[in-house]
């Protein structure tokens, strides 16, 4: 049995914990808390989880040797890295330990790598090796020949971060966590007798719905975490969004490098790297430019020039003309420079803020750490014996052998109908994505890769939209890219009621 909780208004049980923010960190916390007999709710402003910083993440699981010793980042990064093999087995998201190379161009940089190796070993990073120029050229022959050596970290890897967030949320949901989408927190007020009353707005909030009441609040609101904290007077830190532009290259460059390639961290290198993604494409970036706007994420000519100038010093064959997609995201840089995790000066209100890189790597360890802190603050952590850690992995038709594909088609003919030619995504996989929570075009894209290939959705967009419209029971024009306001097409208007007819004085219909 779950422990008794206080009751809110009208005698309804309060939630034990309300998690604000459905990025990868909020979803990891939700899943961790679902191991216990607790009543928890996750509130997310977007139409699906993982649609903020998570979906524009570089998708790197860092080894840990590059983070400054003595920081909370460094501690939780190494712990988190070690948790991903088990998490991948349980949740089935795309993950591969490809290793990373931090490459040097001169003797001074080689010396800094030796110190980085010592720092990493002190933190417990496994398997660190120094490679000379000959070994580097043998292992990665397409890298520039001016490079003089590298530090190799085999425990680093690449991941599909949005798949990870979806799987965490689905697991939490199956284990009893309530997930409320399109719920933007507007106000948080202390509740008489303890706890909080949380008022939300947004398309997902039913008219007249009562606010959420919870004993504890976990603020995992990303670039908005300081604004959320200010709602309860816990405004003793600030967040500055840092925009990073990244560029995805055509699949024909697959294999040009096989490991993550980092420059030695210097002001000149700007931290721009080469990423062989889990799905085989090469991604380059990100830039790092602070800004005040927490929503605007443009890509720029200057950003592209900055990225390719940096990566071509590492690998001259990388050509900006191979770019098939570009995007930008925001990192939540705290005023402390480190993660801000723990109880605030307001009892019961916990901040999980400033979670920039390596936040994805640290996320499962952050979830355990936050759960332990909540337990020390009085949250009863009674383990469930019926916790189910696993969710079914996606079919990934493109990654199957010929024989496996034939078996899938025989069992379900929709596997024999392609929706996305570039990435070999089938109708069955789109339906599966909807079964697992996709409600938008991006929700399908991030679960299946439909629209991520060379034509960037030119072939598959209308096909995916038709399936979504049929499955969700909505008109075709109501299918959105990523939620409210991101329409893809306009509804057809009756004859004589279009814009030209209206210019001529034709009456407008209220339909």
Burial class (CB in 10 A: 0-12, 13-18, 19+), 493: middle
Q: Going by DSSP bridges, is the β-strand pair 239-249/282-285 parallel, antiparallel, or unpaired?
A: antiparallel
Residue 161's nearest CA partner among 275, 32, 59 is: 59
| Contact (CB, 8 A) for 39 and 15 | yes
- DSSP assignments along 298-363, one per residue: ---HHHHHHHHHHHHHH-TT--GGGEEEEEEEEEEEETTSS-EEEE-SSTTEEEEE---TTHHHHH
Structure tokens of 509? 């219909």
Q: What's the gap between Cα 118 and its chain centre?
A: 31
| Contact (CB, 8 A) for 358 and 144 | no
| Contact (CB, 8 A) for 144 and 316 | yes
Q: Which helix (H) or strand (E) holds 243?
A: strand 239-249
Beta-carbon count within 10 A of 375 CB = 12
Burial class (CB in 10 A: 0-12, 13-18, 19+), 157: buried
- Alpha carbons 92 and 193: distance in angstroms, whole number: 43
Contacts with 156 (C-beta within 8 Å, 6 or more apart), sequence order: 60, 61, 62, 63, 81, 97, 98, 99, 100, 259, 260
| Contact (CB, 8 A) for 2 and 380 | no
Beta-carbon count within 10 A of 477 CB = 14
The catalytically annotated residue of 37, 62, 224, 431 is 62
* Helices and strands: H and E segment counts in the chain: 14, 22
- Alpha carbons 42 and 17: distance in angstroms, whole number: 9
Is 37 among the residues known to form the active site? no
Catalytic residues: 62
């Amino acid at each position: 049995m779950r422990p008794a909780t206080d009751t809110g208004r009208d005698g309804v049980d309060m939630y034990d914990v309300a998690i604000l923010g459905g990025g990868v960190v909020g979803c990891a916390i939700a899943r961790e808390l679902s191991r216990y007999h607790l009543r928890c709710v996750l509130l997310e402003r977007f139409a699906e989880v993982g649609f903020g910083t998570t979906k524009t993440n570089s998708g790197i699981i860092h080894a840990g040797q590059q983070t400054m010793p003595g920081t909370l980042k460094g501690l939780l990064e190494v712990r988190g890295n070690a948790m991903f093999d088990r998490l991948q087995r349980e949740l089935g998201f795309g993950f591969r330990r490809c290793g990373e190379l931090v490459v040097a161009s001169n003797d001074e940089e080689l010396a800094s790598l030796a110190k980085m190796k010592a720092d990493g070993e002190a933190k417990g990073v496994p398997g660190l090796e120094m490679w000379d120029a000959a070994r580097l050229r043998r292992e990665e022959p397409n890298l520039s020949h001016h490079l003089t050596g590298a530090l190799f970290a085999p425990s680093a890897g690449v991941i599909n971060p949005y798949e990870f967030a979806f799987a965490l949320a689905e697991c939490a949901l199956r284990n009893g966590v309530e997930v409320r989408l399109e719920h933007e927190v507007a106000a948080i007020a202390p509740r008489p007798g303890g706890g909080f009353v949380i008022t939300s707005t947004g398309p997902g909030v039913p008219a007249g719905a009562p606010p959420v009441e919870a004993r504890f609040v976990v603020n995992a609101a990303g670039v908005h975490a300081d604004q959320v904290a200010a709602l309860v007077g816990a405004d003793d830190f600030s967040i500055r969004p840092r925009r990073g532009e990244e560029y995805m290259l055509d699949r024909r460059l697959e294999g040009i490098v096989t490991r993550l390639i980092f420059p030695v961290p210097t002001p000149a290198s700007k931290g721009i790297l080469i990423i062989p993604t889990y799905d085989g494409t090469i991604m380059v970036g990100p830039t790092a430019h602070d800004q005040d706007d927490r929503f605007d994420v443009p890509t720029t000519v200057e950003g592209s020039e900055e990225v390719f100038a940096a990566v071509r010093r590492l690998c001259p064959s990388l050509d900006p003309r191979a770019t098939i997609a570009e995007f930008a995201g925001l990192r939540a840089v705290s005023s402390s420079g480190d993660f801000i995790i723990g109880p605030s000066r307001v009892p019961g209100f916990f901040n999980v803020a400033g979670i920039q890189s390596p936040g994805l790597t640290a996320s499962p360890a952050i979830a355990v750490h936050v759960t332990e802190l909540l337990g020390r603050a009085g949250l009863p952590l009674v383990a469930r014996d019926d916790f189910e850690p696993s969710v079914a992995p996606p079919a990934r038709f493109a990654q199957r052998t010929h024989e496996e594909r034939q078996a899938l088609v025989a069992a379900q003919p929709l596997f024999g109908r392609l929706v996305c030619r570039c990435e070999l995504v089938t109708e069955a996989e789109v339906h599966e994505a909807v079964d697992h929570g996709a409600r938008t075009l991006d929700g399908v894209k991030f679960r299946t890769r439909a629209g991520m290939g060379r034509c960037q959705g030119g072939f598959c967009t209308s096909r995916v939209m038709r399936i979504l419209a049929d499955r969700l029971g909505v008109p075709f024009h109501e299918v959105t890219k990523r939620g409210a306001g991101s329409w893809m097409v306009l509804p057809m208007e009756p004859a004589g009621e279009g814009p030209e007819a209206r210019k001529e004085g034709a009456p407008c219909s209220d339909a």
